[in-house]
Chain A
Amino acid sequence: SAVISQKPSRDICQRGTSLTIQCQVDSQVTMMFWYRQQPGQSLTLIATANQGSEATYESGFVIDKFPISRPNLTFSTLTVSNMSPEDSSIYLCSVRQGVSSYEQYFGPGTRLTVT
């Protein structure tokens, strides 16, 4: 299994500002994912971040709004840019330890409130 930490755990931000969320894993992982979970909803995949390549974004999410970095096999950041109240959500980092593995592990999440 993998142990994942996220910073910050929660934040309250003003409209128009940006927030960078960090995800740290205790072991090297091939695939990292960023999800959004809006109140009372299921998980929505934002993007897949593999080390050494550009992040792959899902429909409805763009790099200008959600830039992602993946500098090594244990770390990634997600930035939520030019925030609006609609961005208020829980943002979850998730990893898969190998391409052949189907088990995913999740971080504790970052609870973002935009006012």
Chain B
Amino acid sequence: GNSVTQMEGPVTLSEEAFLTINCTYTATGYPSLFWYVQYPGEGLQLLLKATKADDKGSNKGFEATYRKETTSFHLEKGSVQVSDSAVYFCALSYSGGSYIPTFGRGTSLIVHP
């Protein structure tokens, strides 16, 4: 079956540090890949997505590239801010039909001033 594996957290960084959160997946066919962010006390928000191999999703300074050869979709940001402190979820899904997205376990990011 399909699965998503994320690096264990929490990831603790100082402000302006470089961020990488690793995500790898197992899936059949050609899924779309997503990063969601959950700020404290809130629901999940779609952060970025990529729908095919070599696509790069980007939003709010975050980027992730769909790498089919390594089945990865790592999240990166060049300079994190305290306001980026949140839990980040990697997910995969398929267009069409009634497929329910598969989510990773989430990675907590804590950014210190």
Q: Once the chains bind, are A92 and B43 in contact (CB under 8 Å)?
A: yes
For the A-B complex, the count of residue pairs with Cβ-Cβ distances under 8 Å equals 51
Residues of chain B contacted by A64 (CB below 8 angstroms): none
A105 to B36 Cα, complex, angstroms: 10
The size class of the interface chain B forms with chain A is: 20 to 34
Cα distance, A107 to B46, chains bound together (Å): 12
**What is the distance, in angstroms, from B101's C-beta to the closest C-beta of chain A?**
6
Q: Mark A82-114, 1 if CB is under 8 A from B, else 0.
A: 000000000010100001111111111101000
Taking the complex as formed, is A33 at the interface, i.e. its CB lies under 8 A from any CB of chain B? yes
Residue of A nearest to B43 (CB): A106
User: Once bound together, how far apart are the Cα atoms of A42 and B87, in whole Å?
Assistant: 10
- Give A31's nearest chain B residue, CB to CB: B98
Question: Main SS of chain B's interface residues?
Answer: loop
B89 to A42, Cβ gap below 8 A?
Answer: yes
Dominant secondary structure of chain A at its interface with chain B: strand
Interface residues of A, CB < 8 Å — how many?
23
Q: Which of A104, A107, A108, A111 meets B101, CB within 8 Å?
A: A104
Complex CA distance for A101 and B95, rounded to whole angstroms:
6
Residues of chain B within 8 A of A94, CB atoms compared: 44
Tell whether B81 is near chain A: CB-to-CB under 8 Å: no
Known: A41-B105, A42-B106, A108-B43. A33 touches B100 (CB 8 A): yes
Contact with B along A9-43 (1 / 0, CB 8 A): 00000000000000000000001010000000111
Q: Are A99 and B96 in contact (CB under 8 A)?
A: yes
Give CA–CA (A43, B34) in the complex, Å. Answer: 14
- Top 5 nearest A-B pairs (CB, nearest first) are A106-B43, A106-B44, A42-B105, A102-B93, A108-B43
- Residues of A whose CB lies within 8 Å of any CB of B are 4, 6, 31, 33, 41-43, 45, 48, 92, 94, 99-109, 111
